[in-house]
Structure 1
Amino acid sequence: MRKSKSVLLSLSVLMASCVGAQNPPSPEAIKKLIEPRLGVNVKVDSITETPYSGLYEVRIGNDILYTDKTATYLINGHIFNLTTGADLTRERIDDISKIKFSDLPLDKAIKTVKGDGSRVIAVFEDPNCGYCKRLRQTTLKETDNVTIYTFMYNILSDDSFVKSKNIWCAPDRGKAWDDWMVNGKAAPAAAAKCDAPNDEVLALGHKLGIQGTPAIFFADGSRIPGAIDAKSLEEKFKKVKQ
């Protein structure tokens, strides 16, 4: 009888340890493990358990990485659903990088209304950005019924600040911007007493994590980094609730 009790006790201990081993670690535990391993200056914003074979999402700013339950391995790449073709990592990045459009300081942007202006976007552009000029000369020129708020985001050179100030201080900012971006006609030098919101827009862009131009924001807070063609812009508008 003692032997049977001993066997039952051993089985119960084994089963308890197996259950404990199957319980996944908490996101907080993973964060404590991985953050010091990533370097002194790296701050992990969140850890989230995913449904992808025991992987954990590691969010650092607007970047998404993955790790295992022991925080031993780090995966830098995108996860795709092969059944639907969806880029699950891109969808997640798009979700966490959304902004509240109504919080944008639109008084610091150049406003352009085309057609009925029913669709709204905000575009961050540098006056020395070739891709921004191409966006203006093709996509935005071909797109109608849109209100465009242009934030002059000077990140390419000191000369960008000068050009942006000259355009901001022009009698017709919208025309001056198009003259430069589309036709290559520079705005006259601004008067010394004219103030442009260059520094405020630069700080805003940094806060929003904009690392390159152009960057396009939509009414639902989603963004597209980089230039796109007119067809892709129209497809995006169909998905956005204005």
Structure 2
Amino acid sequence: MIKTLKHLGLVALAGLSISAMAPMALAQGELLKRKSVEETILENLHKARPDINFGQPRPSMIKGLYQVQVPGGPILYVTPEGDKFIAGEVFGIDSTGFSKLEDPFVVEERKKALASLDGKSSINFKPKGKAKAVVYVFTDVDCGYCRKLHSQMHAYEEGGQQKPGYNDLGIEIRYLAYPRAGIPSPSADKLISAWCAKDKQSALTKLKVDESIPGATCDNPVAQQFQLGGQLGVNGTPALFLPDGKLMPGYLPPEDLARTLGI
């Protein structure tokens, strides 16, 4: 009788163990099946717009939201469920007023991306002496403000006054290609011809004043630079990237840029 009771106790214990383990196994299985927040966000974005190659989601500066870079477009601030987003800039609020904020992670990634570029892949306009600062500029040859920026590379006249250009102030401009019309396009073809020219600086300068140059093709970085610009948040030209990784969208006069750079 005692043996029988012991046997029944062991069977009951075994049954209890199995029944206790079953929910645990199911829970672990559910965890394995459950998508991460990042996967959910990307899946929903791609379902809505399969034509866009969204960047990788990551936690944003706004608690509870994730940020996703749209190549050539804005940063999206997305809910963890991936069902809503806000597009726009983020501003901080303090006693001094409002100030635009940039995610330190994004800024650092920009610095790394630009630092990894081969100096020979950009078309560079250098000061006569040692450069005080290097600014990367994503440019298009058919963009009005790109042309204005280029016309002020050296001393220029404005309002009856002679003013110093970017190079005169010690700023080295390194141009990267960003054809706003995309690739392929006539603008892209012009940029490719400039990058494939024997004298790249002269070719680009001619295009900026609406002069024609011989068409040319070669192994060139135009497509890669256009893609890089989109990844870095460029959605218009000119787009200036400062040494600290900050993005200045649009034209900035030489003296204003020098003040921004602290030189």
TM-score of Structure 1 vs Structure 2, range by shorter chain:
0.5 to 0.7
Change (3 A) 1:48 1:195: closer
The SS at the match of 1:171 is coil
Paired with 1:125 and 1:84, the residues of 2 have a C-alpha distance of: 35
Q: Does 1:151 align with 2:176?
A: yes
The equivalent position to 1:160 in structure 2, one of 187, 190, 194, is 187
- Whichever residue aligns with residue 149 of structure 2, its letter is L
Are 1:58 and 2:66 an aligned pair?
Answer: yes
Distance in 2 (alpha carbons) for counterparts of 1:169 and 1:76: 38
Structure 2 residue 57 is matched with structure 1 residue 45: yes
Asked if structure 1 preserves the Cα contact closer than 8 Å seen for 2:41 and 2:57, the reply is no
2:196 to 169, 194, 201: 169
Q: CA shift at 1:110, angstroms?
A: 0.8
SS in 2 for 1:162: helix
The counterpart of 1:135, out of the listed 138, 144, 149, is 149
Identity of aligned residues (%): 23
Tell me the TM-score normalized by structure 2: 0.61
SS in 1 for 2:93: coil
Query: Aligned partners of 2:196 and 2:83: how far apart in 1?
Result: 55
For residues 67 and 152 of structure 2, what CA distance do their matches in structure 1 show? 36
Does the 8 Å contact 1:63/1:93 carry over to 2? no
1:96 aligns with 106
CA contact (8 A) 2:42 2:82 kept: no
Deviation by residue 1:6-36 (Cα, 9 ceiling, x = unmatched): xxxxxxxxxxxxxxxxxxxxxxxx958x949
Structure with bigger gyration radius = 2
Structure 1 partner of 2:93: 81
Cα distance per residue 1:108-160 (max 9 Å; x no partner): 11121123223111111111122211221247762221222111222326111
Q: After superposition, what is the alpha-carbon deviation per residue over 1:50-76, rounded to whole angstroms, capped at 9, x for unaligned?
A: 5xxxx5343122626386x99998666
CA RMSD of aligned residues (A): 3.7
Contact 1:139 1:229 in 2 (8 A): no
What's the CA shift for 1:209? Answer: 3.4
2:123 and 2:176 in contact (8 A); partners too: yes
Q: Secondary structure at the match of 1:114?
A: coil
Q: Which runs of 5+ in 2 are unaligned?
A: 1-35, 49-53, 156-164
Verify the 8 A CA contact 2:135 2:243 in the aligned structure 1: yes
Superposed CA deviations along residues 141-200 of structure 1, whole A, max 9, x for unmatched, are: 62221222111222326111221132223332112212221x33222233x6x4433223
1 CA distance for matches of 2:172 and 2:97?
33
In structure 1, runs of 5+ residues without a counterpart are 1-29
Q: Distance in 2 between matches of 1:178 and 1:81?
A: 43
Query: 2:233 aligns to what SS in structure 1?
Result: coil
1:172–1:84 Cα change, 3 Å? same
Partner residue, 1:115? 128
CA distance in 2, matches of 1:123, 1:47: 28
Task: Give secondary structure in 1 for the equivalent of 2:261.
Answer: helix
Q: Which amino acid aligns with 1:121?
A: V
1:206 maps to which residue? 230
Change (3 A) 1:152 1:136: same
Question: 2:106 is matched by which residue type in structure 1?
Answer: I
